[in-house]
Chains A and B, each alone.
Chain A
Amino acid sequence: MDAERLDGIMRRHDYAPSGVIAMLQDLQREERYLPLEGLRLIAERVGIPASRVYSLATFYRSFSLKPRGRHLVSVCLGTACHVRGGGRIMDKVTRDLGTPQGEMTPDGRFTVEPVRCVGCCGLAPVVTVDETFYGGMTQQKVAGVLRRYE
């Protein structure tokens, strides 16, 4: 993790305690997860207890304290995807990759996470890889999608 870059992020939010959530968001965008070292630095520079930063990092669902793979696979388990079989797609993906939800595959290629609705329910069931959406997924199709990523 680049301490100088992190300082730039903190500066952008005026080192303000009320800006910590935004700092964490920016940090995660760069690092793909929140390294503990980063949380400690933020606490120090902003001047609040590390426990406060940690509590924010764990309260908000979009933060991850674990390193993520090169590609983030989000399997939508929103209501529309659920009734159209999103759960079975999730099972298929974790089974094929041999890694449970939220963990990185040993080769560092993927992290699979469930997501509650990505707002395109008309295409259910939906899987996104990084920023690309794949709709109308089946167990067969999703295997093909994952093969496209290195």
Chain B
Amino acid sequence: MILASPLPRLEDVPFFAHQRLVVMRHRGRIDPERIDDYIALDGYEALPKALLEMTPEKIIGEVKTSLLRGRGGAGFPTGVKWELCRKAPGERKLLICNADEGDPGEFMDRSVLEADPHAVLEGMVIAGHAIGAGEGILYVRDEYPLALRRMQVAIDQAEAYGLLGSDILGSGHSFRIRVIRGGGAFVCGEETALIASVEGRAGRPSPRPPFPAQRGVWGFPTTINNVETLACIPAILLRGGAWYASMGTETSKGTKVFSLVGKVKNTGLVEVPMGTSLRRIVFDIGGGIPDGKRFKAVQSGGPSGGCIPEGLLDLPVDYEALTKAGAIMGSGGLIVMDETSCMVDVARYFLGFLMEESCGKCTPCREGILRMHEILTDFTEGRGTEAQLALLEELAPVVKDASLCALGGTASNPVLSTLRYFRDEYKAHILDRRCPAGVCRSLITYVIDEGRCTGCMVCRRACPAEAISGGKRKPHRIDPERCVKCGACRESCNFDAVRVA
């Protein structure tokens, strides 16, 4: 085949040019179901180095030098976590890889498990050696059937090659991995709830201390690490902690995988050095907002994160900077919103999610989120009052301070951050009974622009409520009394004649 112009190299495509791949370095370059592919690159090179040439203390030292922080959300330094577990008294210790990935809108862990399963296994065996654990548990979301299958294939292959099992590579270190499927409860991503679930109980969090490093599964010292955290380990041991620490900002080192979704041209997983600006991620890599719409905000950190407005787009993303802006790093979700996204609706959406997922153990979380959600629902349905707004602002910090686990502890973030940056939108809903973005159903009406309408009857046929009248080639009209505001007419119109007012 002869091409008019040469195919661009990966580095020359803007989506890839600004990325720096550590965790995703093998993505698409190997067949994930063939261990030999992984080995042919640099797979299982860190393992013999760790097991045969390094003491556990030395491994921990290297990870500490890298200043790697946990990618599951809290950002706790991984080397320190390992050291605590290593030093905890006890013969039997466990390592859990947390692959419960429950944040709606995020899929980086899934991608790592599916595209590079052996990197996770290699990281787990090394971590096990470092903390002194002979058993590993891989806790995977049940909604990820492909990831589950690939991990099982990888475990079988690694066992067949003697890279998993007893006396690995003659080092004396034995390590076995058991896969446990999660039950679709978001709160089970929280460490103490995860432990309860592994033990076969309902996954409700319990107070810490004792920390898992002291008393984890069945009372044994346990380290829990996120998928992405563990997948960084082989690269860190191969190239050195100092190399890893050379990327990033003062407090946050290395690279981070973000899942960039929502109202952005190029959606997908993006791996960049810590400290990259949101503008670079959303506009240079993501290609900006589609359909000529205006950027409004980016929600960072999943349901318990916060949104960041246009004025802060040059913020370098690291743990501290995001927290200061009222959001969180979380596990790396970035959801882009444009002028057609309603921030009150978004806050209500996240609270609805957290309300359903609250385990119900403590009152501030169980009842507080419920009440906040009720108030936001009133706002979006045109019943809001200023007194409710005041109550919301009083309630949010209480839920934050008084909840047992981080689910309740961060549940107010979406409310507080949208209030901080988009108070005008709240006011419009409450005082003017208006949704400026045209999202909240009770506050909008659909109308047909008679100048554009060609009378093609398409919307009339699409309408489930028989709300549209008008004959062939005559302008159509919507009867607001009958309209159920489903938007089918707007979606079906080929002439962009249906407007939201």
Contact = CB atoms under 8 A, between A and B. Distances in A.
- Chain A complexes with chain B: yes
Interface of A: 16-22, 25, 55-56, 59-63, 77-80, 82-85, 88, 91-92, 95, 115-122, 124, 131, 138-140
B104 A117 contact: yes
Nearest to A123: B267
B143 A62 contact: yes
A139 B461 CA distance: 13
A121 B107 contact: yes
B145 A62 contact: no
Interface string B379-403: 0000000000000000000000000
Nearest to B263: A83
A119 B107 contact: yes
B180 interface: yes
Given A21-B197, A61-B184, A122 B261 contact: yes
Nearest to A141: B491
Given A117-B102, A124-B261, 13 more contacts: A59-B202, A60-B185, A80-B261, A82-B349, A83-B335, A83-B346, A84-B263, A95-B486, A117-B103, A119-B106, A120-B107, A131-B145, A140-B462
Contact of A121 (B105, B199, B200, B299): B105
A139 B491 contact: yes
A79 B263 CA distance: 11
A56 B333 contact: no
Nearest to A88: B487
B18 interface: no
Given A21-B197, A83-B337, A121 B261 contact: yes
Nearest to A56: B202
A60 B286 CA distance: 36
B365 to A, nearest CB: 16
Nearest to A79: B105
Q: Report the 8 A-B pairs with minimum CB-CB distance, sorted nearest first.
A: A60-B183, A62-B184, A79-B105, A18-B200, A78-B104, A119-B107, A117-B104, A121-B261
B144 A119 contact: yes
Contacts of B134: none
A62 B105 contact: no
B183 A21 contact: yes
Contacts of B303: 79
A45 B402 CA distance: 41
A110 B185 CA distance: 24
A53 to B, nearest CB: 11
B105 A138 contact: no
A140 B492 contact: yes
A62 B140 CA distance: 13
Interface residues of B, number: 50
A61 B189 CA distance: 14
Contacts of B106: 117, 119, 121
Interface of B: 101-107, 110, 142-145, 180-181, 183-186, 197-203, 259, 261-263, 267-268, 299, 302-303, 333, 335, 337, 341, 346, 349-350, 353, 359, 462, 464, 486-488, 491-492
Contacts of B203: 59-60
A16 B349 CA distance: 39
A54 to B, nearest CB: 11
A22 B105 contact: no
Contacts of B101: 119
B464 A85 contact: no
A91 B491 CA distance: 14
A78 B202 contact: no
A79 B351 CA distance: 12
Contacts of A117: 102-107
Given A88-B486, A92-B486, A119 B267 contact: no
A60 B357 CA distance: 10
Nearest to A17: B200
A139 B488 contact: yes
Contact of B200 (A19, A77, A82, A84): A19
A120 B299 CA distance: 18
Nearest to B489: A139
B104 A63 contact: no
A118 B143 contact: yes
A60 B102 CA distance: 13
17 contacts: A56-B201, A60-B202, A79-B303, A80-B104, A80-B262, A82-B349, A83-B337, A84-B262, A85-B487, A91-B486, A115-B143, A117-B103, A117-B105, A121-B105, A139-B491, A140-B488, A140-B492
A52 B491 CA distance: 48
Contacts of A60: 183-185, 202-203
B489 to A, nearest CB: 10
Contacts of B202: 55-56, 59-60
Nearest to A140: B492
Contacts of B299: 79
B221 to A, nearest CB: 19
A62 to B, nearest CB: 3
B414 to A, nearest CB: 11
A25 B183 contact: yes
A113 to B, nearest CB: 11
A83 B199 contact: no
Contacts of B201: 56
A59 B188 CA distance: 11
Contacts of A138: 491
A53 B299 CA distance: 38
Contacts of A115: 143
Contacts of A19: 200
A61 B486 contact: no
Contacts of B199: 18
B279 to A, nearest CB: 20
A78 B184 contact: no
